[in-house]
Amino acid sequence: MMKSFLSRYGKSVVILLIPCLLFWGLSLLDQSSSSTLGVFFGEMDLSKRHYFMFPLVVALLTFVLFQRWSAAIVGVACILPVMIFGSRYVFSFAVDTSYPGVVLARLNKDVQEAKTLRLREQVLRFLPEEFHESIERHFAPIRAHKGAIRRFPSAPAVVWGDGKRVKVSFQDSEVNSETLPRTYGNRSVPVEIVTTLPGLDLSFEPVQQTGLYLSRLIQSFELEKRGASFEELEQVFLETAVHQSTWDSYVHLAYPWWKLGNMYLERSFGGPRDTVLSKCARDAYGESAALISPGAYPLFRAAVFNNKAAALLLDESEPLKQKRKKEIRQLLHTATLIVHRKGKWRPSKYVVKAIKTNLKAIKVLSGKKPKLKKKNKKNAKQRRRNKGAGTVRSS
């Protein structure tokens, strides 16, 4: 029975096994990039291998069914239009909503995905190979910030936009701000810093500079997720802070300085109070504030001013003198005025809350004695009169 089966269907089974063996061979070549074929096929991701293998499977299947090579040619000719025009709809479900890495969505109005592929190519060009798996391509466009963070709730960032602007939406974390203690006598006064932002807005052109900047952002996300050392993260953000580009706005440089300020401030509270790191945090916030133009990104500017005021509040190396109090109040009042201005990102509640917390802290740290009520003032004045009258009588 086995012999009759092999004699009848053995040839067909062997032919159908050819694509499976070839696909397995490509996977092995992916692991050995030393060979010439390994260099060529090792750069193919799983979706591209499916594109490469699917016509071959159709050709061999039609040949087995009809026992004619002409049928195989017709089968491939019929399946190619389906692959070319229908593949993006098939693969639009390729990225799972629970994907933990950075998602690069197809740019709006980029039907042929030419600009999306250019951007992805530049990102992978500058991104170290060990982080290539931390970015995934999404074949459907995203048109709003809320849609990006809702569709991929586990992704630290979603890159989307169009052929002119590229937007990076940061995922909301469970803790959007951090409370640090400031000792005042025997009590601890809470001071709050903002640690997350809704996102960034970049220019698409020149795409090489955009790809380099995004690669450093992705690297910082992955290092934070892996629990990298303070020095590694500092190096990445310092490199990002000196990113050279021909863009009109400098908000892309303000973001790494703001992140560095948060790192220095949190580090200064991680052990014995470090006044050097505290000063580095204030300087980093100052650099960040200077790089954001007054009319742009009011939410980001408010967060930077709030954190700079918090760094001044938390500095215990010298007493809180009147000049410093005035500077802190001015920073917080400026943040209060600009946080509700119309901008590219809607004002977040946690930024407003942090500003209010620090305004309360400056009142407590000012150490002003509470004013007496009018009734208490009158009673005190009457007691002084009675005391004076008693002194005169005794004399």
Is the pLDDT at 320 greater than 90, yes or no? Answer: no
CA gap 180, 193 in Å, rounded: 8
Task: Say which amino acid occupies 195.
Answer: T
Task: Say which amino acid occupies 268.
Answer: S
Beta-bridge partner residues of 201: 167
Residue 201 maps to a domain:
no
Residue 240 maps to a domain:
no
pLDDT in tens, 263-317: 999 888 766 667 888 899 999 999 999 998 877 788 899 999 999 999 998 886 6
CA angle 78, 83, 89 (to 5 degrees): 135
Residue 97 maps to a domain:
yes
Q: Which of 223, 224, 245, 232 is nearest to 166 (CA)?
A: 245
The answer to whether residues 193 and 175 touch, using CB atoms and an 8 Å cutoff, is no
Total number of domains constituting the chain: 3
In which domain, by residue range, is 79 found?
Answer: 10-91
Considering just the CA atoms, what is the radius of gyration of the chain in Å? 32
Cβ count near 153 (within 10 Å)? 11
pLDDT of res. 16: 54
Secondary structure of 252-281 as H, E, C letters: HHHHHHHHHHHHHHHHHCCCCCCHHHHHHH
Q: Kindly report the pTM of this predicted structure.
A: 0.71
Per the listing, tokens 């190396």 go with: 317
The answer to whether residues 100 and 155 touch, using CB atoms and an 8 Å cutoff, is yes
Structure tokens at 192: 């709050």
Q: Could you tell me if 164 and 310 lie in one domain?
A: no
Residue 374 maps to a domain:
no
pLDDT in tens, 60-118: 777 777 777 777 777 777 776 666 655 555 554 556 677 788 999 989 888 778 899 89
Q: Could you tell me if 108 and 65 lie in one domain?
A: no
Residue 145 maps to a domain:
yes
pLDDT of res. 163: 84
Q: Could you tell me if 42 and 186 lie in one domain?
A: no
Q: Which of 145, 143, 139 is nearest to 162 (CA)?
A: 143
Domain end position, chosen among 91, 113, 141: 91
The answer to whether residues 50 and 95 touch, using CB atoms and an 8 Å cutoff, is no
Q: Could you tell me if 297 and 285 lie in one domain?
A: yes
Asked which of 27-31, 156-160, 238-242 is least confident by mean pLDDT, the reply is 27-31
pLDDT (mean) for 24-51: 48
Res. 388 pLDDT band, cuts 50 70 90? low
Structure tokens at 243: 């990113």
CB-based burial of residue 83 (10 Å sphere; 0-12 exposed, 13-18 middle, 19+ buried)?
Answer: middle
Domain end position, chosen among 43, 63, 91: 91
Res. 144 pLDDT band, cuts 50 70 90? confident
Q: Could you tell me if 118 and 264 lie in one domain?
A: no
pLDDT of res. 241: 92
Residue 130 maps to a domain:
yes
In whole angstroms, how far apart are CA 376 and each of 8, 46, 371, 380?
Answer: 111, 81, 10, 6
Q: Could you tell me if 20 and 162 lie in one domain?
A: no
Q: Could you tell me if 215 and 101 lie in one domain?
A: yes
Is the pLDDT at 39 greater than 70, yes or no? Answer: no
Domain end position, chosen among 91, 125, 141: 91
Asked which of 10-19, 35-44, 116-125, 206-215 is least confident by mean pLDDT, the reply is 35-44
Residue 233 maps to a domain:
no
Q: Could you tell me if 222 and 278 lie in one domain?
A: no
pLDDT in tens, 247-270: 878 889 999 999 999 999 988 876
pLDDT (mean) for 7-28: 55
Q: Could you tell me if 217 and 116 lie in one domain?
A: yes
Q: Which of 287, 286, 267, 262 is nearest to 277 (CA)?
A: 267
Q: Do strands 135-141 and 187-194 pair parallel, antiparallel, or not at all (unpaired)?
A: unpaired
Q: 360 or 378, which is more confident?
A: 360
Domain containing residue 134: CATH number: 3.40.50
- The half-sphere exposure of 284 on its side-chain side, counting CA atoms within 13 A, is 25
Res. 41 pLDDT band, cuts 50 70 90? very low
Q: Could you tell me if 139 and 164 lie in one domain?
A: yes
The kind and range of the H/E element at 184 are: strand 177-184
State how far Cα 139 lies from the chain centre: 20
Q: Could you tell me if 71 and 165 lie in one domain?
A: no
pLDDT of res. 343: 67
Q: 243 or 181, which is more confident?
A: 243
Structure tokens at 76: 């491939």
Sheet holding 135-141, edge to edge: 135-141, 102-106, 157-161, 165-170, 199-203
In whole angstroms, how far apart are CA 391 and each of 190, 294, 384, 394?
Answer: 49, 65, 11, 5
Is the pLDDT at 387 greater than 90, yes or no? Answer: no
Q: 74 or 390, which is more confident?
A: 74
Per the listing, tokens 């190979």 go with: 129
Q: Could you tell me if 115 and 31 lie in one domain?
A: no
Residue 238 maps to a domain:
no
Asked which of 135-149, 197-211, 253-267, 362-376 is least confident by mean pLDDT, the reply is 362-376
